[in-house]
């Protein structure tokens, strides 16, 4: 019983530690955005249901990697990605190196920039922040908040491609965002495919 209680306490401690790191990145972004006094507030209706990520979906490896990432210095997040239906609220950093993807999700270099027109590619780990994408559906809404603007996107296409298919990041008919993660979600070792979520800017 003592061993069980000790392990449970240690696990809860890791969850709390991870939660604090993610919240700190989001808080730092929001402070910077507030100071700029130019960020647009998301539609309140889109904020309904936003909650903590369900960290119980994360793999033990990803939990440990996230904890290790908290020892490193990161530049401020460039945006916050929210998917209300899935309870996603995650900082977006520039780049997709392993440290970035352990801490949050990353803008794919060479894709559109946050706050500008184009196709913004965002990558995340399938056993971490992006595991919940297995529940996403066409029509779901996503918001991407930069210090200057909040843009709402509607999921219009979901596809599975090979890792070398870079056409998924090609410019589209209008401002768009493309989420990229490995697939299958529970495949052991290196995943052979990529799960792609496309969203077009929602017109008022």
Confidence band for 7, pLDDT divided at 50, 70 and 90: very low
Is the model's pLDDT at 48 over the cut of 70? no
Active-site residue, from 27, 73, 125, 187: 125
Is the model's pLDDT at 62 over the cut of 70? yes
CA distance 49 to 198: 22
Is the model's pLDDT at 3 over the cut of 50? no
Global pTM value: 0.75
Q: Report phi then psi at 194, rounded to 5.
A: -125, 140
Active-site residue, from 27, 73, 182, 198: 182
Range of the domain at 177: 2-201
Task: State yes or no: is 125 an active-site residue.
Answer: yes
Q: What is the pLDDT of residues 147-162, one digit of tens each?
A: 888 999 999 999 999 9
Provide the mean pLDDT of the chain: 80
User: Do β-strands 193-201 and 105-107 pair in parallel, antiparallel, or remain unpaired?
Assistant: unpaired
Catalogue the E-assigned strands of 55-170: 79-83, 88-94, 105-107, 119-123, 141-145, 150-161
Looking at residue 154, which CATH number applies to its domain? 2.40.260.10
Domain count, the chain: 1
């Amino acid at each position: 019983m003592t061993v069980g209680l000790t392990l449970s306490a240690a696990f809860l401690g890791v969850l709390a530690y991870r939660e604090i790191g993610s919240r700190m990145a989001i808080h730092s972004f929001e402070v910077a955005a507030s100071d700029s006094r130019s960020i647009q507030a998301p539609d309140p209706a889109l904020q309904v249901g936003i909650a903590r990520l369900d960290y119980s979906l994360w793999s033990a490896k990803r939990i440990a990697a996230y904890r290790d990432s908290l020892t490193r210095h990161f530049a401020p997040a460039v945006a916050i990605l929210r998917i209300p239906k899935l309870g996603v609220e995650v900082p977006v950093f520039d780049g997709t190196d392993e440290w970035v993807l352990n801490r949050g999700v990353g803008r794919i270099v060479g894709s559109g920039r946050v706050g500008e027109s184009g196709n913004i590619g965002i990558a995340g780990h399938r056993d971490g922040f992006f595991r919940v994408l297995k529940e996403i559906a066409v029509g779901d809404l996503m918001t991407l908040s930069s210090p200057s603007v909040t843009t709402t996107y509607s999921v219009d296409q979901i596809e599975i491609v090979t890792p070398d298919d870079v056409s998924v990041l090609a410019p589209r008919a209008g401002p768009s965002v493309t989420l990229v993660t490995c697939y299958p979600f529970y495949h052991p070792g290196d995943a052979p495919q990529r799960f792609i979520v496309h969203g077009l800017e929602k017109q008022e």
